[in-house]
Structure 1
């Protein structure tokens, strides 16, 4: 979380937080603009796109272990997608992008209609217009 705060202050990313009644952080995500090279993107994402495909990156999504299983990750992902739609209408972006930390995280994103990169199964993306 310290890194997220430093990145927020420097403008490198934006962080959204879920807090409990006592003000403790129970979940958060960080997002940023990014790009992905065409050869690392899915066929659908790379079709008719420049070499560097514009993206909105879900840089980090975390839920405290004591609050897992309550739907917070899914709710934060939905919030990220809604914010990414806003961003893409202003700056232009083709895909939502995430780098899954492990196979469990990969399964979570696959369940939410993200598709793996053909060269890196832990890099997943979803074409933004498919969300609309």
Structure 2
């Protein structure tokens, strides 16, 4: 059900419907995946943001203004029962495609995430993200970089 708390194993369980409702009234947008009817098995939220040139990895900061316009992958969660099946990668791919579409109209250099654990940090590193020069739990990737990394790995 949409009001269920998605059990992703992290420390931030929140009913998906509540998070989606909050995001529709704020500066983020939430997208989800349902299986077997209305059970939400994964979702992500995106928002607009900026990063400073000083904190950005080389690929992001090259020839960019300060601050650099980015999209923030504000939340990514996959239910424990669906983890290890490529759903997280598929959700990141969907987010990257949506951000790439937005970037055709407005300036967006890349995607930023704030990892909540070392395991999550390693996951994003495996998708081609680079750690911030000043904040190791903040990771960034150019749009071209994440789309290329997702294409080069096993599908969805």
TM-score, length of structure 1 as denominator length: 0.92
1:95 Cα offset (Å)? 1.4
Superposition RMSD in Å: 1.4
Q: Which structure dedicates a bigger proportion of its chain to helix?
A: 1
Cross-structure match for 2:113 = 98
Q: TM-score, normalised by structure 2?
A: 0.79
Structure 2 unmatched runs, 5+: 1-15, 149-156
User: 1:11, CA displacement in angstroms?
Assistant: 4.1
User: What is the CA–CA distance in structure 2 between the aligned matches of 1:87 and 1:118, rounded to whole Å?
Assistant: 26
Aligned to 1:49: 64
Q: Which residue of 1 aligns with 2:33?
A: 18
TM superposition shift of 1:33: 1.0
State the match for 1:27 in structure 2.
42
Does residue 6 of the first structure (1) align with residue 22 of the second (2)?
yes
Task: Identify the match of residue 95 of structure 2 among 40, 55, 80.
Answer: 80
User: Paired residues, what number?
Assistant: 131
Query: How do 1:60-79 residues align onto structure 2 when only pairs under 5 Å count?
Result: 60-79=75-94
Deviating above 6 A after TM superposition, structure 1's stretches of 4 or more consecutive aligned residues are none
